[in-house]
């Protein structure tokens, strides 16, 4: 006697049932977004006389991925082209030999006028302005800027996180006047060695051309904004780093010319 094989249920019906029951809003399913940083480590080099000294490493981007609970950081590439989908900021404690404050880190915030939600000792502090954060944490506060990018030839959203002089380069690029929205350009991400004071690897950005397939980019940006809106972190809600976008987003009524704010 053969056993009848059960027919797989319609996935769209399953998705609708999950969305309608509230299960989707209460589940902890995350996308792990890899993030890219600039390698500015000091490395040992040997001089002609055999003496060993510490020098800045060669210009290189690094990428960090999370698998289960383990983070791995590996070399990425010396340069790449990407569309910038979103621009945000965050603060965290700067490493110092003597620390006054317990470790702290904020949720990404969209502008310096927005409230900043800082998490310290596993709890959220009362929302503050960026200026209030500077007053509270002093020189232990380290400001980072973050851009969510779609790298040319790929379909995966990644983050680029920068601080210091490179953060200034990114801020100037994002706020500079352009003919079209920043998110409509293909941008070149490169590194240069800056030797003005001490040698360090610094970000260089340049708009190359208008990106192809703006409609596809808009869909990606809309999905990203939906994901970030779903997090909507408050003092009473646990910190969520990444959230799954459960369904396709309707972009038929969105103006492509206003795709970046």
Question: Distance from CA of residue 241 to its chain's centroid?
Answer: 10
Check pLDDT > 60 for residue 260.
Answer: no
Kindly state the average pLDDT of the residues 247-257.
37
Q: Which residue has 């000294």 as its token pair?
A: 53
- Which tokens belong to 181? 């929205």
Instruction: Give 181's contacts (C-beta < 8 A, 6+ positions apart).
Output: 257, 258, 259, 260
Each residue of 151-172: pLDDT tens digit?
999 988 999 999 999 999 999 9
The residue among 163, 109, 162, 98 whose CA lies nearest residue 133 is 109
Let me know: does 176 contact 131? Beta carbons within 8 Å: no
Instruction: Give 232's contacts (C-beta < 8 A, 6+ positions apart).
Output: none
Q: What is the distance between the alpha carbons of residues 26 and 215, in angstroms, rounded to a whole number?
A: 31
The better pLDDT of the pair 25, 246 is held by: 25
- Which tokens belong to 157? 């959203």
H helices of 64-203, in order, are 130-137, 164-175
What end-to-end distance do the CA atoms of the chain give, in Å? 64
Each residue of 174-197: pLDDT tens digit?
999 889 999 999 999 999 998 877
Instruction: Give 120's contacts (C-beta < 8 A, 6+ positions apart).
Output: 101, 102, 103, 104
- Which tokens belong to 93? 């404690």
The residue among 207, 84, 204 whose CA lies nearest residue 147 is 84
DSSP letter assigned to residue 216 = H
Each residue of 38-58: pLDDT tens digit?
998 888 887 777 788 888 888
pLDDT classification of 125: cutoffs 50, 70, 90: very high
Each residue of 199-242: pLDDT tens digit?
889 999 999 999 988 999 999 999 999 888 766 544 444 333 33
């Amino acid at each position: 006697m053969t056993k009848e094989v059960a027919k797989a249920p319609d996935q769209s019906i399953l998705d609708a049932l999950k969305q309608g029951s509230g299960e989707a809003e209460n589940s902890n399913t995350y996308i792990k977004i890899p993030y890219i940083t600039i390698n500015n480590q000091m490395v040992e080099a040997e001089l002609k006389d055999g003496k060993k000294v510490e020098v800045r490493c060669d210009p290189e981007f690094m990428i960090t991925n999370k698998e289960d609970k383990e983070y791995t950081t590996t070399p990425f590439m010396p340069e790449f082209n990407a569309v910038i989908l979103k621009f945000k900021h965050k603060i965290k404690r700067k490493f110092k030999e003597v620390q006054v404050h317990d470790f702290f880190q904020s949720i990404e915030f969209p502008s310096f006028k927005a409230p900043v939600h800082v998490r310290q000792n596993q709890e959220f502090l009362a929302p503050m302005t960026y200026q209030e954060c500077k007053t509270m944490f002093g020189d232990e506060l380290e400001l980072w800027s973050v851009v969510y990018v779609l790298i040319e030839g790929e379909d995966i959203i990644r983050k680029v996180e920068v601080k210091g002089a490179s953060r200034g380069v990114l801020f100037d690029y994002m706020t500079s006047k352009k003919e079209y929205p920043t998110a409509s350009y293909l941008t070149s991400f490169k590194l240069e060695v800056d030797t003005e004071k001490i040698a360090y690897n610094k970000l260089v950005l340049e708009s190359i051309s208008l990106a192809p397939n703006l409609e596809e980019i808009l869909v990606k940006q809309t999905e990203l904004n939906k994901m970030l809106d779903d997090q909507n972190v408050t003092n009473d809600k646990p910190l969520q780093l990444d959230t799954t976008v459960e369904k396709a987003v309707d972009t038929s009524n969105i103006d492509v010319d206003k795709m970046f704010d």
